[in-house]
Structure 1
Amino acid sequence: MSSPDRRTLIADTAIATVATAGLRGLTHRAIDTAAGLPAGSTSYYFRTRTALIGACYARIAELDLDDFDSGQPVPSDAGQSVAREEAAAAIGALLHRWLTTGRDRQLARYELSLEAARTPELGTALHQAGLAARARAAAALAALGAARPAEAADVLVAWTEGVLFDRLVGAMARTRPAPDPAELTAVARRMLDAALGVGSPGG
């Protein structure tokens, strides 16, 4: 296995470990074992725990942005209202993915974000990931006619984070029904309409 592939394997294994065991389970030895690698492999590529956490956060950001990019609808020629509906469906589908098949990755992201907030060395990776997400959102909102795309993106990203946190680890998370694509699209439609109203007359 080449070095880049092994780095990715280690990061993916570490993310899965954090999702199931929390940061207390994140040790070099545990990742070697879970990844089926020779002892010392993780510490060879990521010598400190901080470096390993940084690799996890970078990998999560990469995968999240890939999900965002792959889920964007093809620009519609049928009018802005149709384009907005397609965008709401895309956001709803993205939320559904992150609440189901991508659930562990999002749980790990919350764990790692708290650690990054406490560790100056990790702050840059957290900041860069946030900038990238907002840039993607701003571009999409500008295409939909947002008057102030950057401000609208801040709102949309914050609300998306709120929905994810509430449904994954909020006080009512354990009693909520399974994520429903139609319901999440309806939620996304309301978030999108409100975000697009930022900076508009009466918005």
Structure 2
Amino acid sequence: MSTQEPAPAPGSAPDRRTLIADTAIGLVASGGLRGLTHRAVDGAAGLPAGSTSYYFRTRTALIAACYRRLAELDVSEGPLDPPADRDSAARAFGALLHHWMTAGRERQLARFELSLEAARNPELEPDLREAGLAVRARAAAVLAALGAREPQESAELLAAWTDGLLYDRLAGALAHARPAPDPAELTATVRRMLDAVLDTAL
């Protein structure tokens, strides 16, 4: 059962939950999960003491909010319309990966760390799964437009490869020894990934 946050007080800002989630993600990116407390989020977000605990009573609820926000951001940064062909898809996805490895690097590192918490806390697993399904649904729609025979299964494989590539480049053993991400290289890598999932019957 997914964790649910309480309803906001009358007249409260409608984007308060988003501010809290974004701040929490930033704290995890900079200091790890040990630094994620309600008090720390209040301070970093410039909110009155007790604000974070009002919207998200428990640490579990706060982490669940981070999952939802991370998925929302990942989906929103993808192409709005399905690419017309594989080359267009490779360029769009390659640019997205480049963004996630550069400007969005800290957010992806926070996502890895927050995701591991669900392996330790069964209460979080439904929230992580729900967030992951949203991202995979978007990928399945793109792959379907490109002619995938099994879009959902292809999306699962593409998501696994993407996570592996991001982890390897951002946190893997050779992450700090690699050169800066190159858009052309990433586009070529994505094209190989797309060809594999689109040309293979799963």
RMSD across aligned positions (CA): 1.5
Gaps of 5+ in 2: 1-10
- Runs of 4+ in structure 1 displaced over 6 angstroms? none
Local SS of the residue matching 1:87? helix
Local SS of the residue matching 2:112? helix
Gaps of 5+ in 1: 77-82
Change in CA separation of 1:75 and 1:19 when aligned onto 2, cut-off 3 Å: closer
Matched-pair contact (CA < 8 Å) for 1:92–1:185: yes
Local SS of the residue matching 1:4? coil
Which amino acid letter does the alignment assign opposite residue 45 of structure 2?
Answer: A
TM-score by length of 1: 0.89
Matched-pair contact (CA < 8 Å) for 2:39–2:50: yes
CA distance in 1, matches of 2:14, 2:126: 22
CA distance in 1, matches of 2:143, 2:82: 14
**Alpha-carbon offset, residue 72 of structure 1:** 4.8
TM-score by length of 2: 0.90
Q: Which has the higher helix share?
A: 1
Equivalent positions of 1:1-203 (< 5 A) are 2-68=12-78, 71-72=79-80, 75-76=83-84, 83-199=85-201
CA distance in 2, matches of 1:125, 1:197: 32
Matched-pair contact (CA < 8 Å) for 1:10–1:31: yes
Matched-pair contact (CA < 8 Å) for 2:68–2:131: yes
CA distance in 2, matches of 1:138, 1:179: 26
Which amino acid letter does the alignment assign opposite residue 163 of structure 2?
Answer: E
**Alpha-carbon offset, residue 186 of structure 1:** 0.7
CA distance in 1, matches of 2:164, 2:200: 18
Change in CA separation of 1:87 and 1:75 when aligned onto 2, cut-off 3 Å: closer
Change in CA separation of 1:119 and 1:130 when aligned onto 2, cut-off 3 Å: same
CA distance in 2, matches of 1:29, 1:103: 25
Matched-pair contact (CA < 8 Å) for 1:73–1:86: no
Matched-pair contact (CA < 8 Å) for 2:60–2:124: yes
**Alpha-carbon offset, residue 12 of structure 1:** 0.5
**Alpha-carbon offset, residue 74 of structure 1:** 5.6
Local SS of the residue matching 2:14? helix
